[in-house]
Structure 1
């Protein structure tokens, strides 16, 4: 059974000490990008800034891996 979104928001706020709009804004800046060139293709997430990394840590969530796929040419 899935937890109610409001409960998850409240847990995030309590664990980080930040308002949900701040958490959402910062984590919404984490993106997955695919780069293609002569050497092949790589998919990676944008680097986390210190605040984003702290949110993941405080919530006990493993951050996304930096490189999610690599396909050499």
Structure 2
């Protein structure tokens, strides 16, 4: 059994909390959220929307380039 000098705050709280229906005298009033334990609300990210816009823009640019190449090919074929 530990001597009185070897006890720490947990041992003392355990002794004070007997029987189990009694809360520890030193800590029951401290159960409040702190700035470090409270999570910030999750904000929906704009990344999926940006990704869709980027894909649409690349698709549009690809269609314009492909259309230009087809028009150039038709023009060259007619002139030959």
Q: Give the TM bin, normalised by the shorter chain.
A: under 0.3
Larger radius of gyration: 2
Greater length-normalized contact order (CA 8 Å, ≥ 6 residues apart): 1
TM-score by length of 2: 0.22
Higher normalized strand content (fraction of residues): 1
TM-score by length of 1: 0.23
Higher normalized helix content (fraction of residues): 2
